[in-house]
Structure 1
């Protein structure tokens, strides 16, 4: 995969670790188009990923963008772990991107310190093997040869994914494999590791600290997308017909990327056909539209079996309907990046809820009675319910969300989002927004598209996330409709039919018809597969749901598809573990620092 990296760190005087590191390097060197940077006790291998060395003990992997006026990145100061923390804090205030920063001192107690950027767009996981610490964005190629001591499926974590799919990005369903915490420094010692968070969403929920002018939002989105698009040769984009992908398209156009191939998938139902909107956007911006029909038919087993695996199921990042076809299109066109509009619903606040009324705007003003009426119309609820949320917030309780799956036999309690961190003191609506953003980070998970090209979700950029966190929900919605501020920000650059549109497209009819035609395949995979074998699913409840008549009429399509993704992932790892391990021969000795 382009942009992949592997970090191997060990104590130079540990003989076993040195031999293990030599075997790993021998294996890595057989990988095509690989660049290796090596120093005493450390090896960094990159395949298409940018690697820089701002000081003898500091390394940066990935893309780093200036937050304003192209300011240069700060230089590392003191080389101890406190100096590294100060360096990362200064970097956070001036730069952003998709990167990790590491400090290495093989003789220090904290011999390796790694900071992962706040949003989590660059996956980084770590594990131990043979006395060495290994980190990478994609462990799959290396775990067959260099696994942790007890690599296995963690059924409790898998059950948590089934019950709470929005937290998939924060789970560790493979024992011995641990993801780095985004926005935190992980300090590694020879006996373990600990993490210190430097960035949390709550730090940026300071209302009135940023301009609430829609033009300011447009400027931040434009700058962020211009940064992502710099240096790309042939990007393509997924233009769904919705507002968020249209905003990305408008900013790509502003950045000078004209004539981009834009792909729209549609079904044969009115709700699933948004071509009239995507065509209007493509025509206004000069993009080249391509329309691909979802055909209602039984699911193709090959599309399931060829789905990407990764270190966790690709919930939120892959589908069995358009992921592989879009990846094939990107490969055929030699595209180097795919842009999407993921994240906009949470960031710009799409969800209609009276909780908006609890969230005061700049100056401490609450909604007026006129706004209460408008909010009630948007939420399709009574004025009295909105008024209660507005004037008696302590008496208002929102309907609980995130109920557990009826198909999973393992009961799992909910747990707070580790990315969200402490939300004490925030309004219920702002907490809802932060938790939704945390869930949208699932988009960075494994997919066929990500294997074929770089997948960029530019709305989930640190400057945009920080900006919207500093806006009240009243400002974002104007107390009357979804994503009102974002609509105003791009009203002069997108078709009125899209800006004025109410509602969203839906593929419920397509999913229901497709799953109803696939009951034989669903029963084979879900009632006789790894989920059933490990006792994770309630076969009786699932068998009843898989009746064709129930599938057409019920609303469990999303849950069934997520179970299929988990099933495919579990099967894939079981197959990999069953393969014989290939050992690489050791190199002769440690070599000096070099790049290959």
Structure 2
């Protein structure tokens, strides 16, 4: 985000003086035990009476998704008396709500399910600090230092968020979670669960579902467009960002688009992006990734409590920032989360779901659909579906990645439980539902990556709560109907997107650019990793890393991404250990 909020809640209401750790940010709320700060250009917070406030963007479901600017006294009472649940049922957006109880004895914090705004907290003897930017905690004494246990877990399962971070004593409030802090403990619980919205549209026709998905995308995009003055769309040329373009075009308001490419032909999406921009007659700025913009040993995630991100992202960040500044943009719309929300599964799990709901005839049709979609034989699909059905347990089993970690680290992680409240499937759950939910967790595990608060607001409309709730209720087999991924989205936007974009099933990316960064920096990265803090702490398989980086053979995919991730982790540790 281009801004940051922070706050402090003291157990003693008679505490005096300026709270430590606010980094000089202006006070926007101070009442009883609670003091809140906010800096940067962002919407004014919505005050919850004299109890606290909501940071971020909030829309009212009962008022045509209008932006919320204030609460009347009755709404304040509903929010406080429901322990914040009223925020989740009547409103949606990208927000973190923080308030003190009427008794003044505890603080409650609620983060919305989209995960678009981060929220971290740290306890001290007489208070609790919280912030959207963990860099704010660097002002504390003592300053948080890297937590090696948390870092090991992150490197093993980097896409699965947990309350534990890689900084000592720093916890994360997870998306959809409510946490209550009193003088003795912090107690977290899920206030919003994806399981509450599954299987709501089992009997709906594909046509009705396609129309509903398109209408919901239009609805949330219209709300988001009304909340910002000058947005830019990151238009990759893929389906998800192109869908956002189609919805933005229907708002009747101005916007522009940005596309980034690389010299490699497989990464160049400019023709697709140009076709979409031309269809809606919007200006498109075409930019190119540059190796000279990347420093592989500088942390890009020093403001985060985990080393999330890659050095090669510095090129995109620099170019984006220059263009957004030149345009005077106050928001960047991105298509992140589309694959996840629209259940882009590459497995036979939907066959099992349909078999359990409709029986063999329906399941056979889904076998054919998945065979066409994945270009796999029907016998392979049937074998994989049978194996999944025989496991009986619908829960999704998360697997970690120990590549390039030391044998001792790998052994210590072998029994690590990779859990999350959303992975706990209720009785009667379908395995495809569990897989869909695991996909939402994966995208939330990457959302915080990117530069710190100087950037314009990054908005991912496809992660909006109403769209999440709709898509969770759609059977998994509907998304691959007709043998093509994200089938319902394509049907819903048929006639609104260029045909070449609407039906494309592959897309380029920054993969080759990352490879070229690693190839350029082999000697630098070898020294950075093999004689760094992670190696000295025993986390890395130094022999293997040295062999990969000194070999004349090309580094195989996805090992180059792993090296990039470890290099970021090394730079992040050095950043947080520096005085």
Who is 1:314 aligned against?
A: 308
Q: What SS is found at the alignment partner of 1:491?
A: coil
Who is 2:89 aligned against?
A: 93
Bigger Cα displacement from structure 2, 337-346 vs 437-446 = 437-446
Who is 2:30 aligned against?
A: 38
Q: What SS is found at the alignment partner of 1:174?
A: coil
Matches within 5 A, 1:180-219: 180-208=173-201, 212-219=208-215
Matches within 5 A, 1:112-151: 112-129=107-124, 131-141=126-136, 143-147=137-141, 151=144
For the residues of structure 2 that align with 1:171 and 1:550, how far apart are their CA atoms?
Answer: 38
Asked if the contact 2:369–2:480 (Cα under 8 Å) also holds between the matched residues in 1, the reply is no
Who is 1:274 aligned against?
A: 269
Who is 1:405 aligned against?
A: 402
Who is 2:532 aligned against?
A: 529
CA distances 1:197-248 after superposition (whole Å, capped 9, x unpaired): 2211111112327955211111111111111222322211211111111111
Bigger Cα displacement from structure 2, 209-218 vs 230-239 = 209-218
Evaluate the alpha carbon distance shift between residue 565 and residue 309 of structure 1 in structure 2; reply closer, same or farther with a 3 A threshold: farther
Who is 1:459 aligned against?
A: 462
For the residues of structure 2 that align with 1:345 and 1:414, how far apart are their CA atoms?
Answer: 28
For the residues of structure 1 that align with 2:376 and 2:172, how far apart are their CA atoms?
Answer: 41
TM-score between both structures, scaled by the size of structure 1: 0.85
> Larger relative contact order (C-alpha < 8 A, sep ≥ 6)?
1
TM-score between both structures, scaled by the size of structure 2: 0.88
Who is 1:156 aligned against?
A: 149
Q: What SS is found at the alignment partner of 1:103?
A: strand
Match of residue 265, structure 1, among 252, 255, 260: 260
Matches within 5 A, 1:370-449: 370-388=365-383, 394-395=389-390, 402-409=399-406, 410-411=409-410, 412=413, 413-418=415-420, 420-424=422-426, 425-448=428-451
Matches within 5 A, 1:167-566: 167-168=160-161, 171-208=164-201, 212-258=208-254, 260-295=255-290, 297=291, 300-301=294-295, 304-305=298-299, 309-315=303-309, 319-360=313-354, 364=358, 367=362, 369-388=364-383, 394-395=389-390, 402-409=399-406, 410-411=409-410, 412=413, 413-418=415-420, 420-424=422-426, 425-448=428-451, 451-478=454-481, 480-547=483-550, 549-566=552-569
For the residues of structure 2 that align with 1:417 and 1:328, how far apart are their CA atoms?
Answer: 40
CA distances 1:145-179 after superposition (whole Å, capped 9, x unpaired): 324x5722111111111111212575411111111
* Alpha-carbon offset, residue 426 of structure 1: 2.7
Q: What SS is found at the alignment partner of 1:521?
A: helix
Evaluate the alpha carbon distance shift between residue 246 and residue 450 of structure 1 in structure 2; reply closer, same or farther with a 3 A threshold: farther
For the residues of structure 2 that align with 1:129 and 1:401, how far apart are their CA atoms?
Answer: 33
Evaluate the alpha carbon distance shift between residue 170 and residue 218 of structure 1 in structure 2; reply closer, same or farther with a 3 A threshold: farther
Aligned residues: 562
Evaluate the alpha carbon distance shift between residue 108 and residue 28 of structure 1 in structure 2; reply closer, same or farther with a 3 A threshold: closer
Asked if the contact 1:491–1:499 (Cα under 8 Å) also holds between the matched residues in 2, the reply is yes
Unaligned runs of 5+ in 2: none
Asked if the contact 2:367–2:382 (Cα under 8 Å) also holds between the matched residues in 1, the reply is yes
For the residues of structure 1 that align with 2:281 and 2:488, how far apart are their CA atoms?
Answer: 25
Who is 2:55 aligned against?
A: 61
Q: What SS is found at the alignment partner of 2:422?
A: coil
Asked if the contact 2:354–2:366 (Cα under 8 Å) also holds between the matched residues in 1, the reply is no
Asked if the contact 1:174–1:312 (Cα under 8 Å) also holds between the matched residues in 2, the reply is yes
Bigger Cα displacement from structure 2, 204-213 vs 454-463 = 204-213
Q: What SS is found at the alignment partner of 1:230?
A: helix
CA distances 1:476-514 after superposition (whole Å, capped 9, x unpaired): 221521111111111121110011212222444433333
Asked if the contact 1:112–1:189 (Cα under 8 Å) also holds between the matched residues in 2, the reply is yes
